[in-house]
Amino acid sequence: MQGLRKQNQGSGSSVHILKRVTGASALAAMLVLAGCRQDMHDQPKFFPQRGTDFFADGRSARPQVDNTVARGQMHDDAYFYTGMQNGGEGNTFPFPVTLAVLQRGQERFNVYCTPCHSRVGNGQGMIVQRGYMPAATYHSERLRNAPLGHFFNVMTNGYGAMPDYAAQLTPADRWAVVAYIKALQLSQNATQSDIAPGAHPETLSAIAEREGMPASFAGEWEMPRTATSMAGLDDRPVPTTAAPTPPPTAPSATPTATPAPATAKPVPGAAAAPAAGKAPAVATTPAKPAASSAADIAAGKEIYQRNCQVCHQPTLQGMPPMIPALIGVVQRTSAAHVRSNVTNGVPTAKPPMPSFAAKLSSEDIDHLIAFLSSTGSAEKKP
């Protein structure tokens, strides 16, 4: 070890000497060369910040020629860059609004504005719900009538408690967001003149009334606010990895011909059996004849599409956390739970789930349950 280190040191210092020699000769060479070229040093020139008597104003640094513009900053279309016209906020778009512009606006809006203004622009974004100063709703009378340039101006310069978004959004993107805000406003307050001839606008409350929804349906929806109300959404029975054993007292509680999920061990009769916690509810429910036919499932699917998909979505994926997914809901909860929800609704939920007692017969609900059971638990990986 010792010998090795000595050797290293030895070779290290010889490298040093070599470096010093080359360094010295390079310096000498530079001095010699510099001696031959004095002209660049001696040429007449201005020193920074020093005056001159060459120009009449005595300044050596010359002002820019009038109307000089830095590269890429030729903002000759003042309206496009400011939203201001004749000293006030303008009310036109500086370029035609196409579907592509609207889509860009929607995408940028959802990135930058929804945290405070929410996806529907009602000012109830998540940050506001967590205590930030309430952001404006775009659906107020004043903002519905505000000129387009106002929205551009707010994004460019900020407004009261709202920070500006000039750094995040290019001017073209800001105009695209303005276009999308207009679309959001129209989505809530369209008049006949705003839409194609032949179509007619309807208010959400009119639709809700016609569909027999609770009166509060068209009101403001609130997200669950507290830990307790969130817990309310989550305290449903969770499917367990172990296949539930069919309760011996309710052997006929298997209404469907659900194909067994490929990953789970097929337990005869277990597919639609309730999770352990729900067993009593099913045991007290009149059991449905076993094995629903493909026709039952198809009928249930149609009933679902007519009545349920507006909220639970055509994909059955719901809109969590407000509206639960229904994929495999029968397996996850129980047929009785589904029947009870459909029959009684959930008036306390926000938004409330309406009761379908007046609309759907008991047989309709059987078909619904058959359809929902057929969505199985295959997609749900517990």
Among 176, 179, 329, 336, binds ligand HEC (CB under 6 A): 329
Count Cβ atoms below 10 Å from residue 152 Cβ, excluding itself.
26
Count Cβ atoms below 10 Å from residue 183 Cβ, excluding itself.
14
Q: Considering the rule CB under 6 A, would residue 338 count as an interface residue with ligand HEC?
A: yes
Q: Pick out residues in 72-131 that bind ligand HEC (CB under 6 A).
A: 112-113, 115-117, 127
Q: How far is the CB of 122 from ligand HEC (least distance, A)?
A: 12
Among 90, 149, 324, 376, binds ligand HEC (CB under 6 A): 324
Integer-rounded Cα radius of gyration of the chain: 37
Give CA–CA dist 364/358, Å, rounded. Answer: 11
Residue number, 85 or 129, with CB nearest to ligand HEC: 129
Give CA–CA dist 253/273, Å, rounded. Answer: 6
Size of the site for ligand HEC (CB under 6 A): 45
Residue number, 116 or 253, with CB nearest to ligand HEC: 116
Q: Considering the rule CB under 6 A, would residue 155 count as an interface residue with ligand HEC?
A: yes
Q: Pick out residues in 16-75 that bind ligand HEC (CB under 6 A).
A: none
Q: Considering the rule CB under 6 A, would residue 133 count as an interface residue with ligand HEC?
A: yes
Among 21, 294, 295, 310, binds ligand HEC (CB under 6 A): 310
Which region among 11-19, 52-60, 153-161, 263-271 touches ligand HEC (by CB under 6 A)?
153-161
Which region among 23-31, 256-264, 274-282, 319-327 touches ligand HEC (by CB under 6 A)?
319-327
Q: Considering the rule CB under 6 A, would residue 148 count as an interface residue with ligand HEC?
A: no
Residue number, 22 or 203, with CB nearest to ligand HEC: 203
Q: Pick out residues in 183-242 that bind ligand HEC (CB under 6 A).
A: 213, 233, 236
Burial-class residue 376 by CB neighbours within 10 Å (0-12, 13-18, 19+).
buried
Q: Which residues contact 217 (CB under 8 A, 6 or more apart)?
A: 204, 205, 208, 351, 352, 354
Among 136, 176, 272, 316, binds ligand HEC (CB under 6 A): 136
Query: Tokens 């695209």 — which residue?
Result: 176
Q: How far is the CB of 291 from ligand HEC (least distance, A)?
A: 21
Residue number, 79 or 112, with CB nearest to ligand HEC: 112
Q: Considering the rule CB under 6 A, would residue 355 count as an interface residue with ligand HEC?
A: no
241: left (phi over 0), alpha (psi -120 to 50) or beta: alpha
* Nearest one of 72, 48, 80 to 62, comparing CA atoms: 48
Are 299 and 305 within 8 A, CB to CB?
no
Residue number, 261 or 351, with CB nearest to ligand HEC: 351
Are 373 and 258 within 8 A, CB to CB?
yes
Residue number, 113 or 297, with CB nearest to ligand HEC: 113
Burial-class residue 326 by CB neighbours within 10 Å (0-12, 13-18, 19+).
buried
Burial-class residue 47 by CB neighbours within 10 Å (0-12, 13-18, 19+).
exposed
Give CA–CA dist 203/210, Å, rounded. Answer: 11
Residues in touch with ligand HEC (CB under 6 A) = 112-113, 115-117, 127, 132-133, 135-136, 143, 151, 154-155, 159-162, 165, 177, 213, 233, 236, 307-308, 310-312, 322-324, 326, 329, 333, 337-338, 341-342, 346, 349, 351, 353-354, 356, 368
